[in-house]
Copies of this chain bind each other. A is one copy, B any other.
Amino acid sequence: MSTPGKRKEVRGMAQFMDVHHNMKGVTADQLREAHNADLAIEKDERVHFERAWADPESGVVYCLSEAPSAEAVQRIHERAGHKADEIHPVPLSI
């Protein structure tokens, strides 16, 4: 169990929440395909995409990852064909 408000850090890893806009109408299959495209190459940058949540109506998608940097997260998302619009380190979590 993690300490409230403090997540473990492994070898300089941190947690990130990234946000994609303009994904209106995204389907469950498309979300899964996009996530799988990230997972297929994430190890190249020591990133791991843990969770993703989508609102097809407003077109927003949130991805939670563990990574060495925001730049590493973005490199994977770009190579997978879906650059993030925002990437925030989230050092605090519950």
Q: Which of A13-67 contact B (CB under 8 A)?
A: 15, 17, 26-29, 31-32, 35, 51-58, 60, 62, 64
Least CB distance from A60 to B in Å reads 6
**Complex partner residue of A6 from B6, B17, B28, B93, CB under 8 angstroms:** B28
Q: List 12 A-B contacts (CB under 8 A).
A: A4-B28, A5-B29, A28-B92, A31-B92, A35-B94, A52-B93, A52-B94, A55-B90, A55-B91, A56-B91, A56-B92, A58-B88
Chain A interface residues (CB < 8 Å from chain B): 4-6, 15, 17, 26-29, 31-32, 35, 51-58, 60, 62, 64, 88-94
Contact assessment for B55 and A94 in the assembled complex, using a CB-CB cutoff below 8 Å: no
